Amino acid sequence: MMETITVHEAIARSLLAAGQETIFGLLGDGNMQYCANYMDLGGQFIGAVHEGNAVSMADGHARETDRVTAVSVTHGPAVTNTLTALTEAVRAGSPVLLLSGDTPERRDFVQHLDLRAAASLAGASYRRVLRPEHVVDDITKALSSVETTRVPMLLDIPHALLNDEIDYEPSRFTSASTSSWTRPTEESLDTAVGILASAQRPVVLAGAGAVRSEAREELVALAEQLGAPLATTLLAKDYFSGVPGHVGVCGTVSHDIGIEAISSADCLVVFGASLNQYTAAHGDLLRGKAIVQCDTDPAAPGRHFPVDAGLVGDAAATARAIRRMLDEAEITPRGYNSESLRRRLSERDPRREFSDAGSEDLLDMRTAMIELDEALPAHRTVVTDTGRFMGAPWKYLHVGGGGRFHHTVNFGSIGLGLATALGAAVANRAGLTVAVAGDGGVAMSYMELATAAREKLPLVVVILDDGCYGAEYTKLAEAGLNPQYSLLDSPDLCDVARSLGCEAIRATDTADLHKAAALVEEGHLPLVIDVRADPGVDPGVLNG
């Protein structure tokens, strides 16, 4: 039944009708009416301190849920404030819908901005509501576009339309079904199975697309059928945790056993991974191998490196089809996933992979990550910021299952990780989210600790605090310049965290880390752990 309501009321109702039960944002003239309506109707609005952080929160929420997440900001400078975070979301393929709007139609309005051009700068798509009666349909189509393409969109709802009245009918947005995804052609399957039939040392590699496809069971079964070890990309980290023969992350942050197993393979069969330069270790891990690559994106196979067989299809369904064809061809396991390999993996001790460089009052970041990995609850999401410190959590801090590791490195900006972790924590209130950032990155966004405290989020923020911009410290030293110029004179980060409503503890030795874990166990959240480290120790990511 239709009723007459204002456009701003229709926006709020349409978002809720489409399943947007949580949105992020910052209020202003261009959005405060419909955001207020949205909250009046029971929607959860998570207000950020800065518009860029609001977009990062939506990004983190979207990555954690794998669902479209909306964020709303006002005109002009609010939109320019979002551009770095929006670019990160675009490059991550994160399904984020940014609602903003053109300014009032006055020649001298100071906040005017070309929103289409702004969206284009970030690589986002753009849609403008042209007439009041279009708003419900435009919201529905915007949500559908973002879900289908995984390209964030800026939806421009002009201020001039907000108080107009329309005849309202609820939107009919429904989530797309994976049953419509393209299946591999028989010819491409024949080629792939022919390669696998002749392979003696195959490895099965899963990426984020395989996680999205819920392909774990099928891929484990395929690996058993082939006698192949299993590996993942960084984004699918720990997807095969607990499976014998899981050699960990494939790429520049692989451990030695994983590098050996992947390097010695003669075939890599890849599901839902872009196979980029980092996964391929700049091509080193692909040499001398037949490559079979499966993805739902027809352009993905061979995008970064040549492949011998490209399959366009869903990871789970494709793996199932390959298994059936291998059965029909009576292909038996090759034994590359040997008892010797499984034993070495079970006996692996990450502490033996480096010389601890800690001192009396400073921790080695790698040791800190290993200790926290063992001490914190295992069922967790991990979000990392960008910086030299990344090598430590990427190698040594595990997650509670594939799809629960996220990083903010896609645009190479520091400072996005904390807010992204907040969004993931909103999506995962029943679990624990661990943010790992450097002191330089946290300094860009630590006011959002107040947001974490206000929302009582189950969040641990680990600051790997070496008192400098770490990458710059290393690069200045390598260039023969004074690395002291990269040092930071920061305030006491524990005092800052406490002033914003969080618990905080400084860690200068492993005993402090276990005290921090006890605080987590007792429910003292959100918690900031300030891990003091030596600026002269590079944990290794810049060498990858």
> What's the domain count of the chain?
3
Same domain flag for 453 and 394: yes
Q: Is residue 393 domain-shared with residue 515, that is, in the same domain?
A: yes
Start-to-end CA span in the chain (Å): 60
Per the DSSP assignment, residues forming a β-bridge with 128 are 156
In a domain, 537, yes or no: yes
In a domain, 178, yes or no: no
380, 492: one domain: yes
Judge if 503 and 375 occupy the same domain: yes
In the listed set 320, 346, 372, which residue is the last one of a domain according to the structure? 346
CATH number, position 222:
3.40.50.1220
Buried b (16+ CB within 10 A) or exposed e, 407-433: bbbbbebbbbbbbbbbbbbbbbeebbb
331 and 362 part of one domain: no
Cα–Cα dist 408/422, whole Å = 13
Q: Is 352 helix (H, G, I), strand (E, B) or coil?
A: helix
Tell me whether residue 177 is in a domain: no
Residue 215 and residue 338 in one domain: yes
Instruction: List per-block mean pLDDT (blocks of 10 residues) for the chain, which spans 544 residues.
Output: 92 97 98 98 98 99 97 98 99 98 88 95 98 96 96 98 94 62 87 96 97 96 97 97 96 95 97 95 94 94 95 96 94 93 96 93 97 96 97 96 93 98 98 98 96 98 97 96 95 97 98 98 98 93 52
58 & 190 share domain: no
Instruction: For the chain, give percent helix, strand, coil, nearest 5.
Output: 40, 20, 40
- What is the reported pLDDT for 179? 45
Q: So what's the pLDDT on residue 59?
A: 99
Shared domain check, 328 and 300: yes
Domain boundary at 323, 346, 369, which? 346
Q: Strand 267-271 to strand 246-249: parallel, antiparallel, or no bridges (unpaired)?
A: unpaired
> Which of 503, 529, 526 lies closest to 452 in space, CA to CA?
526
> In Å, what is the CA distance from 129 to each residue of 33, 120, 153?
17, 17, 13
Q: Which helix (H) or strand (E) holds 270?
A: strand 267-271
Looking at the structure, tell me whether residues 488 and 404 fall in a common domain: yes
In a domain, 329, yes or no: yes
Does 421 fall in a domain?
Answer: yes
Helix axes 186-198, 315-328, angle to 10 degrees: 60
Q: What is the pTM for the complete model shown?
A: 0.95
In a domain, 172, yes or no: no
CB-CB neighbours of 238 under 10 Å? 20
How many beta carbons lie within 10 A of that of residue 41, not counting itself? Answer: 13
Predicted local distance difference test score (pLDDT) of residue 177:
53
CA 453, 95, 85, 31 dihedral sign is negative
Residues 485 and 514 in one domain: yes
What was the pLDDT predicted at 108? 84
| Burial (Cβ within 10 Å: 0-12, 13-18, ≥19) of residue 208 | buried
* Structural domain for 317, as ranges: 183-346
Indicate the residue among 319, 346, 373 that finishes a domain: 346
